[in-house]
Amino acid sequence: MKAFKDLALSRRSIRKYTNEKITDECIKEIISTALIAPTSKNSRPWYFMTINDTGIIERLSQCKKNGAIALNTCTHAIVVMADPSKSEAWIEDSAIAASYIQLQAEDMGLGSCWIQIRERMYDDNTTATKYVRDILSIPENIEIECIITLGHKNEDRKPYNPEKTMWNRVAFNTWNIEE
Ligand SMILES: Cc1cc2nc3c(=O)[nH]c(=O)nc-3n(C[C@H](O)[C@H](O)[C@H](O)COP(=O)(O)O)c2cc1C
């Protein structure tokens, strides 16, 4: 297990995967971490769907014109959803859970990538949400935040360099930022 800072530095978006499957135990471990992510007022508005059916993943890979490339080779995906009626902070809650998924995957040596679904379009007339909703039979009252692709890494991405940390984005006591 990596110290948390090493984990955060080494997590990078992985968009190419081998065809080696992830075990059910690993998927369960990842989901169990998402399920302890903090939520506003402890409302826990999220839902998660794990996908390992290659036919379904192939259809999901068509969900938008750009930015879905990681779905071309991933072996698993987790759809991160929420019920907005359970919390006005459902977007934040879903995003935190999605981040937990990515960090847990990295901790187990697996690659992941966030595929944005909310506010994205499948084509000129159809949202990516509707496209994914129809494939997965997701009810109308449930919103889709993103899909997190998962798999064994098939590309090397350099960890973040702590020397390049963007301290110019940090203010001290007042807005003393100079860009
Ligand atoms: C809210 C959000 C939406 C993103 N959407 C996509 C996406 O649709 N497709 C994709 O390939 N990567 C997506 N990413 C990954 C970012 O491109 C990536 O995190 C960023 O370029 C930094 O690279 P890193 O993850 O390797 O640190 C998204 C990330 C976030 C946080």
Distance of CA 46 to the CA centre of its chain: 13
Ligand 1 and 13: CB distance under 6 A: yes
Q: Is residue 146 part of a domain?
A: yes
Q: Is residue 175 part of a domain?
A: no
Ligand 1 and 70: CB distance under 6 A: yes
Ligand 1 and 67: CB distance under 6 A: yes
Domain count, the chain: 1
Full domain range(s) for residue 137 = 8-154
Q: Is residue 169 part of a domain?
A: no
Read off the CATH number of the domain in which 48 is found: 3.40.109.10
User: Binning pLDDT at 50, 70 and 90, where does residue 179 land?
Assistant: confident
Residue 163 has pLDDT above 60, yes or no: yes
Nearest CA to ligand 1 atom 29: 114
pTM attached to this predicted model: 0.98
Q: Is residue 2 part of a domain?
A: no
Q: Is residue 54 part of a domain?
A: yes
Q: Is residue 21 part of a domain?
A: yes
Q: Is residue 90 part of a domain?
A: yes
